[in-house]
Structure 1
């Protein structure tokens, strides 16, 4: 009896010890991931002076964005809205100019298109620019994964996009709106890909017959729906968690999702995702495993060594899980490295955003 009790105690200690080690490893992963995305941060050069008031049950907060038209007055001539998301440098002004250049390259009537460039700020941005306390700001890059703002209210970055969607759905303001496009490159592409997974209220647009699409260009990583990851051949296979304890943590996978999307199962989120129209783009020369802005955490490395490999592997993964067909496309933009301006003004980006011709399907 004593032997059995000792054995049970030993086994219990071993299990508890293993659990503690796993918890510590997971915590270390989280810290490492956070540090990896904090080290680059510098205050933004410019913060938009246009403010969008966001009302929530907890109160009201202000959010900065760039607009090509005053959306506080009726815009009956607008038929298309393009929401372009900046990367981790939070330089929405640069992405707004890129969106303008893309519109001009597509030979689209500026009067018919509303360009929107949200600006997700870090706490150091508002501190550096002495912004008022009611301006939304996040800790580091937390906005990329839909986390709640640090202040003044715990509003998810996805809730901000929801609020923009709600504004665009107002038929008094936009009676002739036909298309809404979310587009992003790099960190912005990451936001767009996850928002395509998570977005709650897109039906306020689709119920009005408004076409909604997502243009995902060269994101750092993708959100996987199960514990598979690409093997050495780039084909999805069960992943050995011992290689990376946190490989399936959100935003790389479905574990420990933020509150915004934790009320839905991975299967529900996947069903929503595959129902969306998504155009996936990656630069043909975006294949440098040492590129300075590349996410090189073990969870990211589990998806592939660089963006080109990660993009191709993820698209194969989604195709294999849904052989019935997808409302998605995948295009490699030849000769382009990690360059947001060139990617978002490429022939295939213009086709996805503005319905121009010239991109081979």
Structure 2
């Protein structure tokens, strides 16, 4: 019998042989390589597997990027495979190296006042510079907190909205919204980036809204006032320390706002999570007494904001209005994976690679308490529910920045684009790409916020998809972890231990005897006790009664 090996198998065998020889030869002559010889065989096999399946690397030409962008509209999995073949993407953990070409030369930070932030075809729309916020330190990522929340052109800062009594969540909202609440059709809730700069992203989305109404009326949006923009201002312990928060403001730890972290302040009977806050926003917006014309809500996030949107979309509790919510996820640094399979596994974090916030497995007690019971009860139901939602992925075709550098993120891919591609490709072995999801690749864009937000396809996802009609309410509002609803009713429950034939006979006999005995007693009693019909007894009773009335 002759056995034929595939080309990939031969390549894997060759790599394994070379690795084994190299380790043996170098280890025998160089003590410094003894660690290499002690490397687990499973890790070497993982390395071999990755080498065997690595796609051929090709330059990211304009023509190829345009091809990938178009292919994604009908064949997202095929487009993701193509995008993974671009030079500097597959398994590249070094980051950087890919620069934008001539579409947008920088991002909203590098040219805060100039029109160069707009695509050339959108430069007829005014650019609004970022608000002047004051960080407490010089750290570019502002790990030291903000000293205050700045005023933003075109927005009101609401600091009195109570999520629960005694706990307020600050947020930016389009100015004058109260005057047009009865005609608003769409709300876009935008997440900040890692520095919690909610004012910046609120303004970027507002500028993109103006672009849509001015230049893309064919998408179906002609009135700027039909849409409001909301930007929750997540605050952490550093903002509390340096003065940005007020006593009743909800405070979350570090960057845990993006993964459903729970509140640390104010002191509540029961802490609430950032996902509870987002639920409160949608409950308010879909209340037809407040916004009678509202048809839909979109969540938007880029970078860490994209992580927040993806993770919330995955775990969000079922609500009647869920068909009318859209989620736009732009260039996240890492993902909450839907299965325990990874293309880049490593023994360095084999016990934690699939734990929340990177997945739904491992130690499931680490899942945000908002949805912990759901995940523990039925992880697959959580995934299946996510696959029915309106989820839109936006990926820059030159974004090979490292992003999240934790080991758990590296198992998902080497960089932003690689991880996004792998997330899409994973659907191939997980029931196929969902019909309610979309993938939009943005040519010549790196990790640029406004380039992604103002891209033509993104404008549709944020502002016009689903804006014309409110979809019917869901009727099945169960969540996997709801009490007594995890398995449903048993159609034919098995007989109990006491439900045997002999027990049934005894039970029926006792019941029958009790009924017969009661009937017999009522039949005999009149014969045992005669009526008081004697005249003298009646006269004596009447006389006694009259004395009692005196």
Instruction: Tell me, yes or no, whether TM beats 0.5.
Output: yes
Which residue number in structure 2 is paired with residue 277 of structure 1? 390
The 8 Å contact of residues 319 and 325 in structure 1, kept in 2 or not, is answered as no
Taking a change above 3 Å as real, the CA distance of residues 101 and 71 of structure 1, as seen in their structure-2 partners, is closer
Distance, in Å, in 2 between the alignment partners of 1:189 and 1:146 is: 13
Query: Which structure has the larger Rg over C-alpha atoms?
Result: 2
Q: Which has the higher strand share?
A: 1
SS class of match (1:117): strand
SS class of match (2:261): coil
Matches within 5 A, 1:205-220: 205-206=321-322, 211-220=324-333
Distance, in Å, in 2 between the alignment partners of 1:67 and 1:174 is: 14
Which residue number in structure 2 is paired with residue 195 of structure 1? 312
Matches within 5 A, 1:54-93: 54-56=162-164, 59-69=165-175, 75-93=181-199
Taking a change above 3 Å as real, the CA distance of residues 130 and 97 of structure 1, as seen in their structure-2 partners, is closer
The 8 Å contact of residues 165 and 201 in structure 1, kept in 2 or not, is answered as no
* Aligned-residue offset at 1:40: 5.6
Which residue number in structure 2 is paired with residue 257 of structure 1? 367
Which residue number in structure 1 is paired with residue 259 of structure 2? 145
Which residue number in structure 2 is paired with residue 320 of structure 1? 429
Which residue number in structure 1 is paired with residue 284 of structure 2? 167
Give TM-score, length-normalised by structure 1.
0.78
Q: Does 1:225 align with 2:342?
A: no
Match 1:43 to one of 142, 145, 149: 145
Which residue number in structure 1 is paired with residue 235 of structure 2? 121
Which residue number in structure 2 is paired with residue 53 of structure 1? 161
Deviates more, 1:326-335 or 1:214-223: 326-335
Which residue number in structure 2 is paired with residue 348 of structure 1? 457
- Write the deviation string for residues 42-61 of structure 1: whole angstroms up to 9, x where unpaired: 323642641253344xx430
Which residue number in structure 1 is paired with residue 249 of structure 2? 135
SS class of match (2:278): helix
Distance, in Å, in 1 between the alignment partners of 2:158 and 2:446 is: 32
SS class of match (2:432): coil
Taking a change above 3 Å as real, the CA distance of residues 158 and 118 of structure 1, as seen in their structure-2 partners, is same
Unpaired runs of at least 5, structure 1: 1-38, 232-238, 357-361
Distance, in Å, in 2 between the alignment partners of 1:157 and 1:72 is: 25
The 8 Å contact of residues 394 and 441 in structure 2, kept in 1 or not, is answered as yes
The 8 Å contact of residues 303 and 331 in structure 2, kept in 1 or not, is answered as yes
Matches within 5 A, 1:10-25: none
Matches within 5 A, 1:326-345: 326-345=435-454
Which residue number in structure 2 is paired with residue 305 of structure 1? 414
* Aligned-residue offset at 1:85: 0.7
How many equivalent residue pairs? 302
The 8 Å contact of residues 304 and 310 in structure 1, kept in 2 or not, is answered as yes
Taking a change above 3 Å as real, the CA distance of residues 161 and 284 of structure 1, as seen in their structure-2 partners, is same
- Write the deviation string for residues 271-322 of structure 1: whole angstroms up to 9, x where unpaired: 1110101110111111133xxxx21010011110100000010011134302
SS class of match (2:162): strand
Give TM-score, length-normalised by structure 2.
0.52
Match 2:274 to one of 157, 170, 178: 157
Taking a change above 3 Å as real, the CA distance of residues 140 and 243 of structure 1, as seen in their structure-2 partners, is closer
Taking a change above 3 Å as real, the CA distance of residues 72 and 78 of structure 1, as seen in their structure-2 partners, is closer
Distance, in Å, in 2 between the alignment partners of 1:190 and 1:52 is: 27
Taking a change above 3 Å as real, the CA distance of residues 96 and 40 of structure 1, as seen in their structure-2 partners, is closer
Distance, in Å, in 2 between the alignment partners of 1:201 and 1:70 is: 31
RMSD, matched Cα: 2.2
The 8 Å contact of residues 67 and 114 in structure 1, kept in 2 or not, is answered as yes
- Write the deviation string for residues 15-67 of structure 1: whole angstroms up to 9, x where unpaired: xxxxxxxxxxxxxxxxxxxxxxxx861323642641253344xx430111100
The 8 Å contact of residues 258 and 305 in structure 2, kept in 1 or not, is answered as yes
Distance, in Å, in 2 between the alignment partners of 1:325 and 1:303 is: 20
Distance, in Å, in 1 between the alignment partners of 2:427 and 2:433 is: 11
